[in-house]
Amino acid sequence: MRNLLVVGGFLVIAALAFVIYSEIETRAMLTQALTQLDKANVEIDKLRAAQRVTTAQIENRILPARKTRVLVYHHPNGLTERDAARLAATLKPYGFDVTIARHPAGKRPDAIYVGSLISAEEAQLVLSHVPYDIEYLFRADYPRQHGGDPEGRTIGLGYLSSHPGAGDPRTTPARVSRRELTSLMQPKVSNSEFQQRLRKITGP
């Protein structure tokens, strides 16, 4: 009888362990699925932004990009020299002034910079062609010596969130979620609303 109780106890413990393990595994799978869904939504928004730009071309609407600079840092991974050349070939016909440079750190990029006078349409066009995952945004007052633009007319790609800034709060990037990125890529966002959304993410 005692042996039966012991065996029964072990069976109950095993059953509970199985239920707990199954619940943990299910949660992990759900979290992974949601992460993949967020990534897919960002890629879809990029494609939609590119489509809107194509439509603008067909309708002979001119992008206000003639005074906008795009600074592209290339790396061994994430945004290679070849990726940078493709970006330049894509953006120059729209009137962007594209500059390509090698980043001395040589790490995989994870950040971008968007100036304070960049329009929603300009930013969405450029961001729709970024080949790496954007995880950080630098503030509009990011110092010029690090890749910022006091004039507000520059978009910076290939930036690193770990770039040293000697403790200057202006050099500390803000973490950006995929949901926040999606909000920046939404169609028919006015320029002022786009910049407000940027500031909400990055701070002053």
26 occurs within a structural domain: no
Number of domains in the chain: 1
**Strand pairing of 136-138 and 154-159?**
unpaired
For the full predicted model, state whether its pTM sits above 0.95: no
Per-position pLDDT tens, the chain of length 204: 555 555 555 566 766 666 676 667 777 666 666 566 555 555 565 555 555 555 554 454 445 545 899 999 999 999 999 999 999 999 999 889 999 999 988 789 999 999 999 999 999 999 999 999 999 999 999 999 999 999 999 999 999 998 666 578 899 999 999 999 999 999 889 999 999 999 999 987
3 occurs within a structural domain: no
Give the separation between CA 163 and CA 90, rounded to whole angstroms: 27
What is the span of the domain harbouring residue 149?
51-202
CB atoms within 10 A of CB 165: 16
Q: Which two tokens stand for residue 75?
A: 């790396």
79 occurs within a structural domain: yes
76 occurs within a structural domain: yes
